[in-house]
A = this chain, B = another copy of it.
Amino acid sequence: MNELNSKLLERAVTEVGKLPGVGRKTAMRLVLHLLRGGTDEVEALANALVHLKREVKYCQVCHNLSDTDTCPICADKSRDASMVCVVEDIRDVMVIENTMQYHGLYHVLGGLISPMDGIGPSNLQIDSLCRRIETGGVKEVIFALSSTMEGDTTAFYIFRQLEKIPLKDVELKYSTIARGISVGEELEYADELTLGRSIINRIQYNGK
């Protein structure tokens, strides 16, 4: 589609078209839909996005997205603080929560180690995970990462880092969610039942 007559329309279509998976034709369809609707609706959408971006916080403990300094999961005393589930991003927290099979805490890395995309360990929340483990109280680290090369690399890297930490009286257990999800499949698209079972059937790294 060529440059549009209306500069206002052109700008809106260009901005919407920057979203992932939204081409120029889809962007046009979405913008025309908004044009047909009320001004209120457009402003509600715009405000929701700007407010989210400006005001959103990340949990100081687990780096989950939160409206408060400490997210409701970390703040929930009824949860098992001896288990930490390491995930790639906040979507993974949501899907695992939806299975209702896990009652421990999380640690959101914010990505996976991927040299191809220029993401190294320092770009992820790995240091803060080490500090959480050093502080003590954690007995088990569960890796719930995508079953891809990046996921496996990240889990192995973190495992090696955590092994270096001297811990008194506690032997840290490591596990990974069962490979119930197919190899190459991304975590966020797994169905809740499979994901739930794969958490229950997590496999101990050291065979204990």
Contacts and interface: CB of A to CB of B under 8 A. Distances in A.
B49 A45 contact: yes
Nearest to A11: B48
A54 interface: yes
A42 B50 contact: yes
Interface string A47-85: 111111111100000001111000111000000000000
Contacts of A2: 94, 97-98
A106 to B, nearest CB: 11
Contacts of A203: none
Contacts of A172: none
Interface in A9-39: 9, 11-12, 14-16, 18-22, 25-26, 28-35, 39
A4 B93 CA distance: 10
A30 B22 CA distance: 9
A152 interface: no
B11 A52 contact: yes
B43 A50 contact: yes
A53 B97 CA distance: 38
A178 interface: no
A150 interface: no
B44 A15 contact: yes
A91 interface: yes
Nearest to A67: B6
Contact of A48 (B4, B15, B32): B15
Interface of A: 1-2, 4-9, 11-12, 14-16, 18-22, 25-26, 28-35, 39, 41-56, 64-67, 71-73, 89-91, 94-95, 97-98, 188
